[in-house]
Structure formats: structure tokens, C-alpha cells
């Protein structure tokens, strides 16, 4: 669902704020790799240890120690979006719209195509669990546009990908205009105003669908944090980040209320605010280079697992758990399935993402 670790220019703060240079090769911010993997594992823990997959199992009773933490794992998505705003702005600075388009296709689709097929095959092969979608709906899912076309997701976790695509569309327009400090800051402000104006609009309003006021605050904050990283913090950028945090709270607390339906229990709301504040705080430390000492090379490999893990874990994992119904899954089974998902994610990265991504990049570069 999202770009791999962010990148920082070697000497960004010497640039003029109105410049938009092609620039030198950026350096990885390895902590972002770690944060992305943490976000993916948080979402996995929510799906495996807190959200009932339809077996009518009280996971709170089954995992009394893990449930109170896993019940908030859905917030990993908010962290994904926050990182995405930072990383997309970082990795696309100085790129042309075509380069931006190619980079997104190469990044998103190889692992996604594999995950759609693998999930469909798993649902078809394992008896007693969920049924796969009709073949025509599976084909529609391969476009990643199933949501606006009114087609069900092959895997429920894929809803976040359409949010990412809408962000990419908006940012592509900015890339076409040219990225400078003032233009990007203006983009953030206009998007924030539009998000506030359309927050109460009907969910089927086309402009609300594009503006996505329930998720936009994380992308905007991520962009502002990258501007801090590139051009030094200032009062305006700090204000944008704080505004985004405050404006996101009504939406994230609405999501918290809805989770009670899925987990079968009511959990306190205050950890939602604390966890979200921690996400914003850590990303601010990243933006201000206060955590630059975290530079372990193995984090690059860990970050590479994030996207495949996110795509593969939910429905495939649930199908495996369904084999044990009506008995509840044990802690050992959960650990083994999670380890299997991480292993599968590495195989997909090594043998699908990398080779297919290279071929796609070569082909699209010739357009």
C-alpha cells in the first residue's frame, strides 16, 4: 500500500526555497523503513489478534495480554499515510510527471498483481472459508480501481490503495507545475482548506471523494514535515502539522467507534489520541534529523517486506485460521502464520517485485 523508505537530499537546506533542481542522488532515511514495517505489523496484529474473522471467537478472551494493544493496530494505516506524504514529496522532488508516473506504477503494481492472484487462489483452494470473487471482479481488481468502479476488493485491506492513488493524482498535478517550497506549501494549505470545507459533504460527492477529508490530513502533514526536513522548520510548517493533527482527530475517533463492531468490545479512546500524537512526534523527529543516528543497514531489507506483507496477510491469514475453526487459534499458530507471511513477503520482493519492476520500468521508459 505505499513507497519504501524515504530519501533525503545531501544538502537540502542550502537550496533556494523557490528552486526546483533535479538534484543529486538522495540518501535513504533508514528509520522510515523501520516505521513502515512497524505500521504493517501493527495492522497484522489487529487482524490476527483483535478483529474476529467470522469465526465468532472472542479474541479478547483468547489473547488477554495482546488484545488491548492489538485493538489499536488499525492505526498503522494512519502512520502509513503520514509516511507516504513525506516520502512521495521527498522521492519526487525534481522529477518530471512521467518519471513520477513510472515510479508509482513500478512500485505499486508488481506485488499487488501477485497478491490479487495469490489471495484469489487461496480462497478457492482452502475449503470452508470465504469464497473468491467472480473472475471478472478479480480482473477489475487488477486495475486497482475496483472501489470507484463499484467492485468488491479481493482483500479488504486494499481500500487504502485507492486513498494512495488519489493522493498520487493530486501530487502529480503539483509535480507537473513544478515542486518548490512555496508551491508545495500552497498545495498543503489549499488541500487543508478544501478538506475542511468538504468534511461534511455526502460520501458520494465526487469532489469529496477526490479530496478525502478523512485521510488527507496525514498526507498533508507528511508533506509539511518533508519541507521541514529539506528547508528547516519554521512557524508556518509547524502550524500546518499541528493543524493536521488536530483536524484528523474527529475522523480517527469515528474510526475508533466503528472498530467496536469488528472486535466485539469497546476499548478506551484516549490511546488513539496518544498513539496518533506519538506518530506525529516521531515523524517530526525524523524531519528534524534528531533520529538520524538510527542507520542500521538491515532496516533496508526490513522495509522491503512492508508492502508485500500488507497486501498478503489479511485474507490469506484468515483462511489459514479458518482451518482450525471452531477452535480458536493458538498463540503459536498466530506466530507461525505471521512468520510465514513475512517469509512470503520476502520471496515476493525478491522474485516478483524486483524483476517485474525492472521490466516495467524499462517498458514504460520507452513511452
Q: Can you spell out the DSSP letters for 51-80?
A: S--SS---HHHHSTTTHHHHTTGGGHHHHH
Chain-centre distance of CA 282, in angstroms? 16
**pLDDT tens, 9-49?**
444 444 556 554 434 445 678 889 899 999 999 999 999 99
According to the model, what pLDDT value does residue 259 have? 92
Cα torsion angle, 59, 60, 65, 67, sign: positive
According to the model, what pLDDT value does residue 11 have? 44
Chain-centre distance of CA 335, in angstroms? 23
According to the model, what pLDDT value does residue 199 have? 94
> Measured between alpha carbons, how far is residue 106 from residues 4, 223, 284 in Å?
12, 22, 29
According to the model, what pLDDT value does residue 82 have? 97
Q: Judge contact between 4 and 306, C-beta under 8 A.
A: yes
Rounded to whole angstroms, the Cα distance separating 134 from 136 reads 6
Rounded to whole angstroms, the Cα distance separating 109 from 325 reads 34
Cα torsion angle, 173, 241, 212, 142, sign: positive
- Half-sphere CA count of 304, side-chain side, radius 13 A: 16
**pLDDT tens, 211-245?**
999 999 999 999 999 999 999 999 999 999 999 99
Q: Judge contact between 294 and 37, C-beta under 8 A.
A: no
According to the model, what pLDDT value does residue 69 have? 95
Going residue by residue through the chain, which has 367 residues, state the pLDDT in tens, using 9 for 90 and above: 444 344 444 444 445 565 544 344 456 788 898 999 999 999 999 999 998 766 677 888 889 999 999 999 999 999 999 999 999 999 889 888 899 999 999 999 999 999 999 999 999 998 877 889 999 999 999 999 999 999 999 999 999 999 999 999 999 999 999 999 999 999 999 999 999 999 999 988 999 999 999 999 999 999 999 999 999 999 999 999 999 999 999 999 999 999 988 898 999 999 999 999 999 999 999 999 887 777 777 788 888 899 999 999 999 999 988 888 677 778 899 999 999 999 999 999 999 999 999 999 999 888 7
According to the model, what pLDDT value does residue 76 have? 97
> Measured between alpha carbons, how far is residue 41 from residues 78, 198, 307 in Å?
13, 32, 11
Rounded to whole angstroms, the Cα distance separating 352 from 180 reads 35
Amino acid at each position: 500500500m505505499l513507497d519504501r523508505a524515504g530519501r533525503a537530499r545531501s544538502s537540502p537546506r542550502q537550496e533556494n526555497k523557490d528552486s526546483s533542481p533535479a538534484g543529486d542522488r538522495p540518501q535513504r532515511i533508514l528509520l522510515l523503513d523501520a516505521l513502515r514495517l512497524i505500521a504493517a505489523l501493527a495492522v497484522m496484529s489487529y487482524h490476527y489478534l483483535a478483529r474476529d474473522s467470522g469465526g465468532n471467537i472472542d479474541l479478547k478472551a483468547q489473547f488477554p495480554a495482546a488484545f488491548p494493544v492489538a485493538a489499536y493496530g488499525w492505526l498503522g494505516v494512519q502512520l502509513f499515510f503520514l509516511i507516504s506524504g513525506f516520502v512521495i514529496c521527498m522521492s519526487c522532488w525534481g522529477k518530471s510527471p512521467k518519471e513520477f508516473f513510472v515510479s508509482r506504477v513500478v512500485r505499486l503494481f508488481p506485488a499487488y498483481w501477485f497478491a490479487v492472484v495469490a489471495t484469489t487462489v487461496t480462497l478457492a483452494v482452502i475449503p470452508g472459508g470465504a469464497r473468491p470473487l467472480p473472475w471478472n471482479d478479480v480482473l477489475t481488481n487488477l486495475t486497482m480501481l475496483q472501489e470507484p468502479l463499484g467492485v468488491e476488493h479481493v482483500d479488504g485491506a486494499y481500500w487504502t490503495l485507492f486513498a494512495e492513488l488519489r493522493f498520487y493524482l493530486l501530487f502529480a498535478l503539483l509535480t507537473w507545475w513544478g515542486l518548490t517550497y512555496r508551491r508545495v506549501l500552497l498545495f498543503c494549505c489549499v488541500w487543508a482548506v478544501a478538506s475542511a470545507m468538504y468534511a461534511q459533504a455526502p460520501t458520494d460527492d465526487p469532489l469529496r471523494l477526490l479530496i478525502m477529508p478523512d485521510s488527507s490530513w496525514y498526507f498533508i502533514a507528511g508533506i509539511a514535515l518533508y519541507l521541514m526536513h529539506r528547508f528547516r522548520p519554521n512557524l508556518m510548517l509547524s502550524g500546518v502539522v499541528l493543524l493536521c493533527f488536530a483536524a484528523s482527530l474527529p475522523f480517527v475517533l469515528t474510526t475508533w467507534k466503528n472498530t467496536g463492531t469488528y472486535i466485539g468490545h469497546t476499548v478506551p479512546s484516549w490511546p488513539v489520541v496518544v498513539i496518533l500524537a506519538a506518530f506525529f512526534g516521531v515523524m517530526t523527529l525524523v524531519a528534524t534529523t534528531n533520529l538520524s543516528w538510527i542507520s542500521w543497514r538491515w532496516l533496508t531489507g526490513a522495509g522491503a517486506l512492508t508492502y508485500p506483507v500488507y497486501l498478503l496477510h489479511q485474507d490469506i491469514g484468515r483462511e489459514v485460521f479458518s482451518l482450525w475453526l471452531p477452535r480458536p487459534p493458538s498463540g503459536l499458530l498466530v506466530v507461525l502464520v505471521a512468520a510465514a507471511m513475512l517469509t512470503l513477503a520476502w520471496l515476493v520482493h525478491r522474485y516478483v517485485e524486483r524483476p517485474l519492476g525492472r521490466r516495467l520500468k524499462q517498458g514504460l521508459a520507452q513511452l
